[in-house]
Amino acid sequence: MSAESKPPDRDYLVPEAEVELRVKALEALVVEKGLVSTDALDRISAHYEDEVGPRDGARVIARAWVDPAFKERLLADATAACEELGIKGLRGEHLRAVEDTPEVHNVVVCTLCSCYPWAVLGLPPSWYKSPEYRAKVVLEPRRTLADDFGFPVPEEVTVRVWDSNSELRYFVIPQHPEGTEHMSEAELAELVTREAMIGVGPVTAT
Amino acid sequence: MNTPHDIGGMHGLGAVPWQTDEPVFHADWERTIFSIMLALAGQGRFNADHFRSAREKVPAHRYLTSRYYELWLQAVERLVADVVAPDEIERWAEQLRQDPDVPVPRALDADLADALERGLREGLSTAGPVPHPRRYAVGDPVRTRNVHPPGHTRLPRYARDKEGVVDALYPAFPLPDRADDGDYRPEYLYCVRFAAEELWGDSAEPGCEVQLDMWESYLRPVDDPPSVTLRQEESR
């Protein structure tokens, strides 16, 4: 199942054009007053648009699948293990990787705001930050995964929800899919989706 | 604060707006407010708890009718109000309304850009030492406190006055409830596991658990005497 690429349809109080205008006004003032510079703003957005993203996390997962010693280090100290692969940074200072097994499926949320392991997965997608996801997945994780993501978890498998309410940042190590023994680490990384590392989607050997 | 940001378990919101393929930013204004926030925070003008707290102070009736980055705008406006007055923003906005092409100030500062980018690459831990031992160990049963503070907290409503088990020990971090007021003394943090039935009672789905991170102040031993309020209720 895949989701259509369309923005959520909601009734917002303020027209977007008015929000846009106010952001532009704020930008003018913080630049005028010397609080920030234009090039600094550009560099910050470029970092998250061009440099970090879920491909980084996928590299970590693929390495964990092919290298049991790395997986052990990842489970023991995800921050240090990710740094071995050159992955570190803001909102990645204290990482924890949680492992899916035949007995336990993990799913990550931040019910209070939108905490997410930026350094490993990039900025969170809109749905992760949405009131809908934050409200539902702690109360009805099975129904949310099945109905909203088309990803039912078998009833004999425990569902463990990680509510990221501190400075710890969580991501999921999905199970190594069967039938991929012939694949290289780089090929395996291609299979790992952002959804799988949040715990709302499968990894399938295609 | 018991405001709509603390939304875990709320009904009536509809389906998750899942998209598999979306841009990092959907519009220029999202990119701009994101970068302004990080540029100001990166210079120490405010910290993560100030920023979270400022989003929580968005009036309750507006929270759910604001776009995600619109909440960021409202929070940043609040956090810079000492240097950028709301009526200054409105004056600029009015100019832009009259003439969308009015030139906006630009300024370059390569040193600042370098320093801020380095901050993104390096990160900044807020963990610190605590001059006394931990109160709890892995496996300890604990009960969360039943509190409803009017200010910032990271103890969600759905997890108050609930029993769980300490699952992991984490470093000490500033207690968010105090950090919002500028007191950054670290306090031990724990990962606590709760059975879904403990949190949601008969409405829990079978075979589910929730893991939450709890500062020591959010916990008490399960065999502690109940709070004064509870004792009064029980004696009635």
pLDDT reported for residue B225: 65
Amino acid at A125: P
Determine the distance in angstroms separating the CA of A2 from the nearest CA of chain B, rounded to an integer. 7
C-alpha torsion A81→A87→A93→A94, nearest 10: -40
Q: Which residues of chain B have pLDDT under 70?
A: 225-236
Closest CA of chain A from B62, distance in Å? 7
B111-137 burial, b for 16+ CB within 10 Å, e for fewer? ebbeebbebbeebeebeeeeeeeeebe
- Structure confidence by residue, pLDDT tens digits, B189-210: 999 999 999 999 999 999 999 9
Q: How far apart are CA B113 and CA A41, in angstroms?
A: 8
Q: Residue B209 and residue B79: Cα distance in Å, rounded?
A: 37
Give percent of chain B with pLDDT exceeding 90: 91
Q: Touching check for A117 and chain B: CB below 8 Å?
A: no
> pLDDT tens for residues B114-132?
999 999 999 999 999 999 9
Give the A window 35-94 contacts with B, CB below 8 Å: 35-45, 47-49, 53, 88-94
Check: complex ipTM more than 0.85: yes
Report the distance separating Cα B37 and Cα B48, nearest Å.
Answer: 10
What is the tens place of the pLDDT at every residue in B51-65?
A: 999 999 999 999 999
Q: Note the pTM of the prediction, 2 decimals.
A: 0.95
Domain boundaries defined on chain B: 28-122, 140-221
For residue A3, what pLDDT is reported?
A: 53
Residues A139-164 have a mean pLDDT of 98
What tens digit of pLDDT does each residue of A28-52 get?
Answer: 999 999 999 999 999 999 999 999 9
CA distance linking residue B182 with residue B127, whole number of Å: 15
The model's confidence at residue A10, banded by pLDDT at 50, 70 and 90, is: confident
Chain B hits for A195, CB-CB cut-off 8 Å, are 20
- The CATH number given to B28-122 is 1.10.472.20
For residue B227, what pLDDT is reported?
56
B140-221 in CATH: which number? 2.30.30.50
Residue A50's alpha-carbon distances to A43, A53, A92, A123, in angstroms, are: 10, 8, 17, 11
Sheet architecture: strand order including B186-195: A104-109, A158-163, B208-215, B186-195, B163-174, B141-144, B219-221
Identify all chain B residues contacting A109, using CB atoms and an 8 Å cutoff.
Answer: 8
